């Protein structure tokens, strides 16, 4: 299996992460790259560098206003007296239609949903190349590859069209799906991250040309809290084209696999001819952000089930944080898929 990654994706090195009012080291560390890269190679992946496809495929989903913000905000923020090294918001609008401020502080609040997506000097560069890796993967799939892994880091599924959040800046999974759609394919997104892909849902919420399906820990008491509930089915033209399958905290392998069959039934009914898997590995029982209890052999069963489903599949890396099991979980998924 081919894999895509660019070395510039290592440069984003966030330091801070606030949860429950307490400041912690940010878990979305560059060291994830080493572990995931090794895990993919252990599964037989051969890594390729992405080409630079420019801003067009990114701007197909993200607003120009937001992209200007991501590219320039750290420089502007650094001019503020006594500003911290990272852009972290301290005020937010009550609605997306609120007035757009000129100040760096106000724009940070408008474009960053929470405190887990700090922006430093190299964040834009890393996010840009993470998206380019996903675009390269989509192009190779459109050219006939049957399976491919994209080591997208920083991840993307919590990023809306104009809003960062949850360690995410550009929605790599959504960008890849849109690229495949523009190539004449009919993509479905299957998000298996422990957290609901709220940004992905938001981007496609009123569209019928991309099906979005997410299996995740029930958000009633789990991030992202406000999205990911079973009643959210899409709106307007997108009504019925979004499926959320929230699971009780601590759900293990057998119940997870049964839920996956429900997801496959909807993807089959949509008539998808290519599958984009938002590959979160944080549903593992030992992940530091744990919400579910999938085992390492369980990930092999998930990969095998996806392989048996039979669609060309683009795996795009989402969550999965540093633990002794992280690399093994990636190897397990990819080997399971290959051995289906």
Q: What is the pLDDT of residue 144?
A: 98
In a domain, 81, yes or no: no
In a domain, 71, yes or no: no
Q: What is the pLDDT of residue 287?
A: 87
In a domain, 35, yes or no: yes
Whether the CB-CB separation of 173 and 314 falls below 8 Å is answered with no
In a domain, 103, yes or no: no
In a domain, 85, yes or no: no
Look-up: residue for tokens 């479905």?
Answer: 188
Look-up: residue for tokens 């999938």?
Answer: 294
Across the chain, which has 340 residues, the per-10-residue mean pLDDT values are: 98 92 93 98 98 98 98 97 94 96 97 97 98 98 98 98 98 98 98 98 98 98 97 98 97 98 98 98 90 97 98 98 95 97
In a domain, 69, yes or no: no
Whether the CB-CB separation of 165 and 114 falls below 8 Å is answered with yes
Element (H, E) at 189: strand 187-191
Sheet of 147-150: strands edge to edge?
A: 46-48, 2-4, 147-150, 313-317, 274-279, 187-191, 211-217, 242-247
**Domain with 298 in it:** 2-57+123-338
In a domain, 156, yes or no: yes
Where residue 297 sits, what CATH number does that domain have?
3.40.800.20
pTM: 0.97
117-141: string of b/e by CB count within 10 Å (b at 16+)?
A: bbbbeebbebbbbbbbbbbbbbbbb
Q: What is the pLDDT of residue 12?
A: 98
Q: What is the pLDDT of residue 210?
A: 98
The domain total for the chain is 1
Which of 74, 158, 216, 328 is the catalytic position?
A: 158
In a domain, 70, yes or no: no
Q: Is 158 labeled as catalytic in the residue annotation?
A: yes
Residue of 252, 294, 16, 336 whose CA lies nearest to 323? 294
């Amino acid at each position: 299996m081919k894999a895509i990654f660019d070395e510039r994706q290592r440069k984003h090195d966030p330091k801070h992460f606030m949860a429950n009012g307490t400041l912690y080291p940010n878990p979305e560390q560059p060291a994830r790259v080493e572990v995931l890269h090794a895990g993919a190679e252990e599964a037989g992946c051969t890594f390729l560098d992405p080409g630079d496809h420019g801003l067009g495929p990114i701007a197909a989903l993200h607003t120009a206003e937001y992209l200007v913000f991501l590219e320039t905000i750290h420089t502007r923020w650094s001019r503020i007296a006594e500003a911290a090294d990272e852009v972290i918001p301290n005020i937010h609008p009550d609605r997306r239609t609120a007035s757009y401020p000129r100040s760096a502080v106000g724009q940070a609040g408008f474009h960053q949903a929470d405190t887990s997506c700090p922006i430093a000097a190299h964040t834009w560069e890393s996010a840009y190349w993470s998206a380019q890796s996903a675009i390269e993967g989509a192009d190779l799939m459109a050219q006939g590859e049957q399976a491919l892994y994209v080591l997208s880091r920083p991840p993307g599924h919590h990023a809306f069209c104009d809003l960062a959040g949850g360690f995410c800046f550009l929605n790599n999974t959504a960008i890849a799906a849109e690229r495949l759609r523009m190539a004449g394919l009919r993509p479905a997104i299957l998000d298996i991250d422990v957290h609901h892909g709220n940004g992905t849902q938001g981007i496609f919420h009123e569209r019928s040309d991309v099906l979005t399906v997410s299996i995740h820990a029930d958000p009633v008491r789990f991030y992202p809290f406000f999205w990911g509930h079973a009643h959210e089915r899409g709106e307007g033209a997108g009504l019925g084209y979004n499926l959320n399958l929230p699971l009780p905290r601590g759900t293990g392998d057998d119940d997870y696999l049964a839920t996956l069959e429900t997801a496959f039934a909807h993807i089959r009914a949509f008539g998808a001819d290519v599958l984009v898997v938002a590959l979160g590995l944080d549903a593992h029982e030992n992940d530091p952000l744990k919400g579910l209890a999938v085992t390492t052999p369980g990930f092999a069963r998930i990969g095998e089930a996806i392989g048996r489903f039979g669609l060309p599949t683009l795996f795009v890396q989402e969550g999965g944080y540093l633990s002794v099991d992280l690399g093994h979980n990636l190897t397990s998924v990819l080997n399971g898929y290959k051995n289906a």
